[in-house]
Chains A and B, each alone.
Chain A
Amino acid sequence: MLALDEIDLAIMRATQAGLSLSPQPYQVIAEQLGLTADIVMARMAVMQDSGIIRRIGAVPNHYKLGYRFNGMTVWNVPDDRIDELGVKVGQLTFVSHCYHRPRHLPDWPYNLFAMVHGKTQADVDTQIQQITELLGTDNQACDVLYSTKILKKTGFRSRS
């Protein structure tokens, strides 16, 4: 665990809802917290270098950009191969998230998760085919789960 002090946490809380759209957004945070902009910027740069801030930027709504086909692809691959395969799958340009997660046998045999996004079903089918080819014989079973409805989506403090 990285050591975060009160100043870092205060900056985190002040930016949970996003960054101000005024010309000097770091100055705005500084004024809120009674700090200087230099300190705010220095702290945020350190947090970014250490990975606590994954990045500063925009998160687009997939659907609004026309990416209506968002598939959670799930794969059963050998545990002793998953790290190598996970890195490779994560490098595919159309994969937004790639994780090793636990199986729940017998109901859920899949341990490798990769989210893919396409504007058409055909796009996604092609992407799945590419992952299938990449995994080769290590792919022991797979499935694709599409979201059929967003039931809840809140901005929460720490998600990338």
Chain B
Amino acid sequence: MNDIDRLIINQLQTGFPICDAPYQQLASQLGLTEEMLIERLQVLLDNGTLSRFGPLYHAELMGGALTLAAVNVPVERFDEITGIINAYPEVAHNYARNHRLNMWFVVATETPEQIEQTLAAIEQQTGLTVYNMPKIKEYFVGLKLDA
């Protein structure tokens, strides 16, 4: 990653114009050419430095639902439970974490009812208690990580 990449990443965490030729507009702001900006973006996406580029939608405002859930998985069942939980298409992210509650996953569905159904199905299939931790209030989302 070079200085131009850093500049692009930092800038693109703050927003992107809505206009006919947005890459050109942004490129001229950054002192780059449109071609260079697009080429670097492609590289950063291809090599995984950027996991996504585009509009980020607010699930709940669109009628969809999200929750964070956690389970306490016995060590000897960790791979088995990972397989079960990851197999649900509603499970978007799943992380192992260093806590008694050692598996944390995000469930995203079209409706709030489907959240309950998915968590109930996971409980039934795994025999484990699923701790449902939907957000009650959002104070902040967003971050500019300095590249």
Q: B residues within 8 A CB of A87?
A: 139-140
For A96, list chain B residues within 8 Å (CB). Answer: 141-143, 145
Tell whether, in the assembled complex, residue B56 and residue A117 are in contact, meaning their CB atoms are under 8 Å apart.
no
Interface class of chain A by DSSP: mixed
Candidate in B62, B101, B135 with the most chain A CB atoms within 10 angstroms: B62
Closest approach, in angstroms, between the C-beta of A105 and any C-beta of chain B? 11
Query: How would you classify the secondary structure of chain B's contact residues: helix, strand, loop or mixed?
Result: mixed
Number of A-B pairs whose CB atoms are under 8 Å?
248
A155 CA / B22 CA spacing, docked (Å): 23
Q: Are B16 and A158 in contact, with the CB atoms below 8 A?
A: no
A59 and B48 contact, CB distance less than 8 A: no
Find out whether the CB atom of A59 lies under 8 angstroms from the CB atom of B53.
Answer: yes
Nearest-neighbour CB distance to chain B for A2, whole angstroms, equals 6
Contact of A26 among B18, B56, B86 (CB under 8 A): B18
B residues neighboring A (CB under 8 Å): 8-9, 12-16, 18-24, 34, 38, 41-42, 44-45, 47-59, 61-64, 66, 68, 70, 82, 85-86, 91-101, 103-106, 108, 131-143, 145-147
